[in-house]
Amino acid sequence: MGKLFFRYGVMGSSKTASALMLKYNFEERGQQVLLVKSSVDTRDGLNQISSRTGLSAECITFEELLNYDLLNYDLIIVDEVQFVSKKDIDVLIHITDKIGVNVVCYGLRTDFQGNLFEGSLHLLSHADKIEELKSSCWCGRKATHNARLDETGKVIKIGDQLQIGGNDKYVSLCRKHFITGRSF
């Protein structure tokens, strides 16, 4: 039986870099790894995952996952898992429990308003192992929230849950600075 892992962190906590390093480590030992992401994440194109550190690799979209013979893989890595649905998490549970493949998911826990993403909520409920990847606020405290910035750099808390972006649109803050809206 496989295991389902959820590794979450705020933006800038090296989630994608960790996913790509895990892929490399397994492949270096001759194991087969399938790298997957949601088609919602279009920053690097549909079939590419790139970290801010410069690491990158080809991937498939979550929608393509069931087109593959998953028995041929030792590990499935899902990046940006917060963008998938409860139904998609049920697919990952099926892959681990019925097919026996380990699945490691990386993503955000909450959005810029402090609300859980649907995919993250269901992983928090069903993952065999949950790990937090840590990062720091500008003040040095542990960053726990993702804050969205407007074009002037001011923290905003109103808008659609999904807005794809990087350092130009988001900053990771401790709870105190998230609540007060102080991004520097």
- Domain co-membership, 151 together with 126: no
- Domain co-membership, 13 together with 90: yes
Give the distance between the most distant pair of CA atoms in the chain: 50
pLDDT tier, 5 (very low <50, low <70, confident <90, very high otherwise): very high
What CATH number should be reported for the domain holding residue 13?
Answer: 3.40.50.300
Q: Is 99 part of any domain?
A: yes
Which pLDDT belongs to residue 165?
A: 57
Are residues 49 and 76 in contact, defined by beta-carbon separation less than 8 angstroms? no
- Domain co-membership, 82 together with 127: yes
pLDDT digits (tens, 9 = 90+) for 111-154: 888 899 999 999 999 999 999 999 999 999 999 999 888 887 78
Q: Is 151 part of any domain?
A: yes
Among 14, 27, 4, 26, which Cα is nearest to 107's? 14
Which pLDDT belongs to residue 86?
A: 95
Structural domain boundaries, residue 158: 145-180
Segment 26-33 mean pLDDT: 96
Active site residues: 80
pLDDT digits (tens, 9 = 90+) for 37-59: 988 887 777 888 988 888 889 99
Which pLDDT belongs to residue 53?
A: 82
- Domain co-membership, 114 together with 172: no
Higher pLDDT, 124 or 159: 124
Mean per-residue pLDDT over the chain, rounded: 90
Which DSSP state fits 136? B
Are residues 108 and 120 in contact, defined by beta-carbon separation less than 8 angstroms? yes
Tell me the C-alpha distance between 59 and 100, whole Å. 21
> How many domains, in total, are found in the chain?
2
Collapsed DSSP state (helix, strand, coil) of residue 122: helix
Collapsed DSSP state (helix, strand, coil) of residue 89: helix
